[in-house]
Amino acid sequence: MPSSPKKRRRTPRQVVRGVRRRARRAAGGVRRVWRRSLQLRVVTSTMVISIAVVAVLGVFLMQQIIATTLQDRERAARSEAQADRNAVLGYLNRPSGDVSKPSVDSGDGLQRGGDSPLSQAVYALAGRAGAVPRYSVIARNDNQPGEFFVTPNIDPRSIPSGLREEVSKKEAGEDSTHYGDLYYEGRREPVRGMVIGTRLDTSGTMLDSGYEIYHLIPLDKEEETLNSVLRMLVAVGAALVLLLAAIASLVTRQVVTPVRLTRQAAERLAAGRLDERLKVRGEDDLARLATSFNDMAANLALKIHQLEELSHVQRQFVSDVSHELRTPLTTVRMAADLLYDAREDFDPMAARSAELMQNQLNRFESMLADLLEISRYDAGAAELDVDPVDVRDVVLRAVADSEALAERHSTRFDLRLPGEPCMAEMDSRRVERILRNLLFNAIEHGEGRDIVVSVGADRDAVAVAVRDHGVGLKPGEENMVFDRFWRADPSRARTIGGTGLGLAISREDAVLHGGWLQAWGAQGEGSQFRLSLPRVAGAPLRGSPLSLVPPEVEMRRTWRGHMTPVLSPAVADGGNDAD
């Protein structure tokens, strides 16, 4: 049994690149969805704003609840502490023999105790706090540093040194409050709580002034209550945000759905389905939009139908006239040929008239041929006769046909052909006609300067560029040159006698091949026309092997862009003039 091929292990760098590629793809998908979905943007914006508002309100409410809860608890604790201090003063002001020790076990949690008045007072406070103490008490006597008493299980570490210093600095009877951790014996984790400390006001009594008493109030129940309130606020806030998002989605959908339907109808209308209409419901703005859309579609369909009929009539008229003119033109041609051949027997005026008639008949026949060709394109009857040919041969034949005209205008061709064959599937007759039209156009507008003809090829396409150094084109004229009977300068006389349809037919020929015919031009720098065709007939054309802008122009512009910032205005202007 043959062994299965081992999978090639990917390197860490390849893994990282793959992750980045997937991340970029996912981010691109999210951006596309974000840009295309109005409803998603509205709902997301509503959720973000709602979360911000709910968060701010929640924080404000929580702060108010916490402040109110702690204030109420502190007020109650201060009241109880004041009552306890009065009770302690009563115990401390009695003779020790008048106070009986409470009947409690030794395991009640009191520490360092005996029958002293301070111990008896703390016993009494333990009874006031109840079976489950609401608070704990630590009592001290500064005159006897080792004497302090605490109620059950409280650890003296609960009183920070900073609080003791603050209590010692204040007047007797004034409270000092501290929020912190309370430590209990037998319990690992501390409890958040509040400590209220004061020095007893023993003025007017027989006692010294060294007594301090600290009430330690645990806030665990309040903390549990606040945590419950916080969880409730979070749950209510989340529910409110989701509810607002649902409301925003519902409201947005009521607006977006008609707009989406209108967009889909507009796309179908643009695709040629002129019978597309929207359903009108109600009398609101969206209903009026649908009505206006339907009226626009109806008027557009009517106008298109009228234009189609007019265009059909025009095409039929051009075709009929072109065919009908062939018969009288043939008769006139025969008579003109006889007159032209016998012009040497005529007087000079008549001979010149025969020559002019011959030239104009030639132009008229050319125009009729172009009109017939245009009518075939308009009727969709043009077809290709495709064969694999070498583009260089087609270019050489077109140049050969243009040599005589170029010599009359003192123009020379500069051919830049590759050394290897440039094979492509094309209708050589139509491509040769395109090139002849481009060469004739370059000769007429090249002002006698050299015309550069370049051929390029890559794996998918071939291209031919015809470059002249004449007057050039104004901005925006790159596409207008292919319009029928268009002339850049109407006052400029035709030196070749073209029909005005050559470039229009050339573009139709290029489109019929699935290619491009493009123009570039700038005043004072001449113009360039580029024909790009796919190597395989019917294949899509994605690019051209030749640049539309001449390389020397591109290089000069790049050089100017780099050099102008470092040159003075006068030098820069002088350089431009030199160009």
Q: What is the DSSP string of 125-181?
A: HHHHHTTTTSSEEEEEETTSTT-EEESTTB-GGGS-HHHHHHHHHSPTT--EEEEEE
Q: How many CA atoms lie within 13 Å of 390's alpha carbon, on the beta-carbon side?
A: 9
pLDDT on residue 11: 80
**Cα 208 from chain centroid?**
80
CB burial of 25-35 (b: ≥16 within 10 Å; e: otherwise) equals eeeeeeeeeee
Closest CA to 529 of 449, 427, 418, 453: 453
Residue 84: enclosing H or E segment and its boundaries?
helix 38-92
CB burial of 484-521 (b: ≥16 within 10 Å; e: otherwise) equals eeeeeeeeeeeeeebbebbbbbbbbbbeebbbbbbbbb
Fold of the domain built from segment(s) 387-548 = Heat Shock Protein 90 (3.30.565)
pLDDT on residue 453: 92
Q: What is the DSSP string of 490-504?
A: TTSPPSS---S-HHH
How far apart are the C-alpha atoms of 382 and 544, rounded to whole Å? 25
Q: Which residue has the tokens 């010294």?
A: 208
How far apart are the C-alpha atoms of 566 and 561, rounded to whole Å? 10
The phi, psi pair for 535, rounded to 5°, reads: -65, -35
> 484: Cβ–Cβ under 8 A, 6 or more apart, which residues?
374, 500, 501, 504
Q: Which residues of the chain have pLDDT under 70?
A: 1-8, 92-135, 140-149, 152, 202-210, 315, 318-319, 322-323, 378-381, 487-499, 557, 560-579
> 510: Cβ–Cβ under 8 A, 6 or more apart, which residues?
434, 516, 517, 531, 533
Fold of the domain built from segment(s) 90-222 = Beta-Lactamase (3.30.450)
Report, in angstroms and rounded to the nearest whole number, the Rg of the chain calculated over CA atoms.
51
How far apart are the C-alpha atoms of 37 and 166, rounded to whole Å? 64
pLDDT on residue 109: 42
pLDDT on residue 235: 92
Are 433 and 505 contacting, i.e. CB atoms less than 8 angstroms apart? yes
pLDDT on residue 126: 62
pLDDT on residue 78: 85
| pTM of the predicted model as reported, rounded to 2 decimal places | 0.47
Domain boundaries, the chain: 90-222, 285-378, 387-548
Please name the residue ranges forming H helices in 271-390.
285-341, 348-378
CB burial of 441-461 (b: ≥16 within 10 Å; e: otherwise) equals bbbbbbeeeebbbbbbbeeeb
Q: What is the DSSP letter of 198?
A: E
**What's the token pair of residue 316?**
């039929």
pLDDT single digits (tens) 259-278 = 888 888 888 888 878 788 88
Does the 285-378 domain belong in CATH 1.10.287.130? yes
> 314: Cβ–Cβ under 8 A, 6 or more apart, which residues?
none
Q: What is the DSSP letter of 471?
A: S
pLDDT on residue 570: 38
Q: What is the DSSP letter of 346?
A: S
pLDDT single digits (tens) 293-343 = 888 888 888 888 888 787 777 767 766 776 677 778 788 888 888 888 888
Q: Which residue has the tokens 């095409």?
A: 315
Closest CA to 415 of 400, 431, 404: 400
> 462: Cβ–Cβ under 8 A, 6 or more apart, which residues?
391, 422, 424, 455, 456, 532, 533, 535, 545
